[in-house]
Amino acid sequence: MDQNELNQKIREYLEFEEHPYFKDDLQKIIDEQNSEELNDRFYMDLEFGTGGLRGVIGGGYNRINPYIIRRSTTGLANYIKKTTENGSVAIAYDSRNFASLFAEEAALILCAQGIKVYLFSSLRPTPVVSYTVRKLGCTAGIVITASHNPAEYNGYKVFWSDGGQVVPPHDVSIINEVSKVRGKPLTMDKELALKKGLLLLIDREIDDSFVALVKSCSFRPELMRTQGKNLKIVYTPLHGAGTILVERTLGEMGINVITVPEQRDPDGNFPTVEFPNPEIESAMKLGLELARKEKAELLMGTDPDSDRLGIAVPDGDDYLLVTGNQLGVLLADYIFSSLKEAGRLDEKSAFVKTIVTTELQKLVAESYGIKSYDVLTGFKYIADKIHGFEKTGEKYVFGGEESYGYLVTDEIRDKDAVSAAFLTAELTLYLRSKGKSVIDRMKEIWDKHGYFEELLISRYLKGESGRTKMEEMISSMRNMPPAQFGGIPVSYMKDYKSGETYNVSDGTKETNIDLPSSNVLQFLLQDGSMVTIRPSGTEPKIKFYASCKGEAGADLLLSKEEVKEKLKRIEEDVDEFLG
């Protein structure tokens, strides 16, 4: 970008932005004459992608701030008015910095367009918005969150009337409307919006209904009521929105929940962790220390918007952090076995997972006679599949993704850590009633289907140069597929962008992938291992997923060693490719 273009964009933004903090934030960079930082803030507009926005907080077009929120919401409002005459939107936010400000900015833009807004009076988990959209019959929903990203981020996630995140054709149409917005968007005074009945503040009436729904997911409510008081759980919301409803749903069943005190209060700076992500061991450090002290049977952690759940369980003299894939397997097994015992499984029962989620979940589903579906990475695709079941007559019974996201009821259409935490507690109680631990059941599943282990390698590639490098990496692999990973020959490459499967041995291609086009490559190795590469949809980074498996019935210790060695060699090859 040349200097004249940069200067023009800076002047425009300073004219359009009305919030003093963000004007001052940019002015400080200008005064410092930090040309690299200025270019990064303006070389592109923060993209309103297929799910919404996510970016670093600050002044500029490539940052998230009140002006970008106003502009994006104006585009959303224009699309809503094209689809319905009496639109309404539910809005919530989590503990991120400026989250309540951004939520109110979005609400008042919608009100100025004559669209009714139901705004939560304080922070709430993301799945509550999905539920509220369906409960109140809203046209759309917005939640201000950057999920598990570092503290400098915030975001803006959009749901449609079915309660799922926006998918085609709505996503592209909203993006088109956002791209047309120029100048200062029309907004409304808050008191006037309240007086006109365009802005309604909500909280308890939705909470009560949501909690009742979560509790209705129980397969053994009597076990929870009678034995819950004997289950000791340590819980950390990681300074996020989970405290309100996780503590309440478990507490109302009499379960003894001990919340990590240093991480209980909402705080967008996330002072005790580098990343507020229950997938990362360091984020669970304080929870593990308290679990050891209290001799808890279960440690639970949720991310800031409480849609992801991580757990740790006793294993010998210490605690084992259970991976997202493993907890998905355990929940799937518990749900399917409970439905079978109740006589509630039939040929219409369906399970949904993403293409990078462990195949062990599929094996478990099929062992109960349940049809399994793969969708692209992103929970919106699971929600869209559920929406499709309403037409086919199939019955959604469970779904999830490797990144610690699970959905146990189709009354919500996004991953939900509240109901997942509730059912994980019940699962733990049930296994204890059978004289087993969570680890015992996982070992039984491995013995039956084979030991599976997965690996995720991520690399941040920030700025304009990083974006270019990411595109070049994937293009290079697409045009010249590797012959092997970790010494294991590649049999097929699945290109989800073209919808083709490439046979490495004879060079033939077959168009056989019936999923939306996506910039993802998946390599199927001769021994059944898989390696998948994709750019993150929410962060400036590229991701490699690897999955290896052992033989069913094999010695577990030997199988673990063999699988870990395969993953180690694959990781070395990926590291070499990434440089």
- Catalytic residue IDs: 147
DSSP 3-state of 507: coil
- C-alpha 91/C-alpha 122 separation (Å) is 10
Residues 466 and 536: beta-carbon distance below 8 Å: no
Print the SS3 string covering 219-272: CCHHHHHHHHHHCEEEEECCCCCCHHHHHHHHHCCCCEEEECHHHCCCCCCCCC
Distances (CA, A) of 290 to 262, 404, 555: 11, 22, 34
Phi and psi dihedrals of 15, rounded to 5?
-75, -40
- C-alpha 321/C-alpha 323 separation (Å) is 6
- C-alpha 459/C-alpha 535 separation (Å) is 10
The DSSP code sequence of 157-222 is EEEETTSSBP-TTHHHHHHHHHHH--SPPP---HHHHHHTTSEEEE-HHHHHHHHHHHHHT-S-HH
Residues 429 and 224: beta-carbon distance below 8 Å: yes
- Among 579, 57, 551, 94, which residue's Cα sits nearest to residue 305? 94
- Among 275, 284, 324, 325, which residue's Cα sits nearest to residue 304? 275
Tokens 């349940």 map to which residue? 370
- Locate 201 and state its tokens: 């503040």
- Among 507, 483, 479, which residue's Cα sits nearest to residue 495? 479
Determine how many CB atoms are found less than 10 A away from the CB of residue 12: 15
Distances (CA, A) of 195 to 106, 119, 188, 190, 204: 18, 15, 11, 9, 21
